[in-house]
Chain A
């Protein structure tokens, strides 16, 4: 009697969850394991991978050039995150708490670019900022500058591109967290004598901390790997770890080295996520 019902449900469970489990194992777990293994391999003369345990790839990671790039990646990611946060917080706050009936539309307007092709949009920035680009044309015609500004192919341009791409990822969690803020709490704070600034400092910021953490993680981590932004807008002057990895797998043809770099990147990611969880971060809010 009971036996029959149990069996029926474990068959349904297997049918429903089976496919995704197999998929995840085969296409996520196994490849990553493989990359891990490969990071300890080396190459033979024909650029084939040889399965002989070696730490040489990891040793090469300490090359001074690479170290510079790691630092550069972290700096760029950090700056991007901070800029995104500073720009997005007031913006999200205003939108989340507006009483206008276009509130949903306003939020949508931020998210829509997120749905479109980021490559095309980055290219739009290049068109805009280039030496022959629109901005320079306008500035020169208006007489504000004499020669075109060299805006592209710099760290600044890369950061601009990163901020641009990742801005919605900061807005979304902030918006969600701010929306949940109970208006009564702000009123209570004012009632007890706190001025606006104090209320922000002591009530609003701490209570929206989860949004701040989520947004920061969702910006910082991808930033380390968005190699096409640094390619197109940075032009090789602001390479990040992503560029290093890309090179090893394409032109450099050194997959073991690329794997080692990737493992380091994964390690950094996991570290940050753990840190995030320790600060009370909730893993569920990292989804879209």
Chain B
């Protein structure tokens, strides 16, 4: 439904805010653009809305190119981060604005406004002014104002950022339900990965203008395609090293603290890799386990209500996180040997490899002569 092809956005000749972006968004999908500040997600959204022009590339909605169209020519509506409600108009006039511009008949407008305000649970608020509303209420008005125009795509730019935690969680559910009910394509921008995981059908993770991975929440979490995605989503333990030996899917890797094992396909010997193991999958034992030679010393524990975390320190000073549900057993002190089920570890090709391949005369490994 929305096709972003080869889109680049450059500022000042050398600042690539969005680099070569290719993304297809399906009809009726809730897609989230996720990343930290400055990664290009908001710029991408604004290009779809029409407030920024792509330096090159095309954006198509239902097959029609829109990248040259003005915002008011597109059948796309935006919910702004600051709500952007018109302060000098009543809620009624705010919500009715788009329809009035389109010269819709008065009684039709009245019916539509009443209906949509009911849908966002603001029935009866027609005569109030934005300054009289709370943050959450303003949010709903902004959503109503956008949705009343029945856009093909709804764009939401970090709409819940200014709300307190409880309200945010409630709105997340409401937005998700609303989307499912109306079956409109939602493109949602946020830096809050928990929010993304909760609400989205698919997540597009962006980093410094580049789209790193697109997938369902499960895919993103369990099978991160890059170091960035692995460390950005949830917590993880990341080991970096090079492949020592490959036997079918069984891969042995040498890292700074010792040897570890993981499973994966398409890895070559001497290749630089990263291994991501989630804290809840990290296992420990009193005695060394075959194939693993990492030792750690427990340094502390963190209690987070429903979950317990143990921090253990490797010889090189890096920290390892082990997480268990409250009530389960967790190491409290002393020396432990770390290991895991090979399928629980995600093997990631390291981008450093590309750089490395280009540089011939650098010695590899822990100081051993090659």
Contact = CB atoms under 8 A, between A and B. Distances in A.
Interface residues on B, range: under 10
B168 to A, nearest CB: 30
A2 interface: yes
B43 to A, nearest CB: 15
Nearest to A1: B68
A34 to B, nearest CB: 42
Contacts of A195: none
A101 interface: no
B124 to A, nearest CB: 32
Interface string B81-96: 0000000000000000
Interface residues of A, number: 3
Contacts of B53: 1-2, 5
Nearest to B68: A1
A2 B47 CA distance: 13
B52 to A, nearest CB: 10
A5 B50 CA distance: 12
A83 B53 CA distance: 59
Nearest to B70: A5
B350 to A, nearest CB: 38
A5 B55 CA distance: 13
Contacts of A5: 53
Nearest to B56: A1
Interface string B2-16: 000000000000000
Interface string A1-18: 110010000000000000
Contacts of B55: 2
A21 to B, nearest CB: 27
Interface in B55-106: 55, 67-68
Contacts of A2: 53, 55
Contacts of A1: 53, 67-68
Contacts of B67: 1
B79 to A, nearest CB: 24
Nearest to B55: A2
A1 B55 CA distance: 9
Interface in A68-108: none
A133 B364 CA distance: 103
6 contacts: A1-B53, A1-B67, A1-B68, A2-B53, A2-B55, A5-B53
Interface of A: 1-2, 5
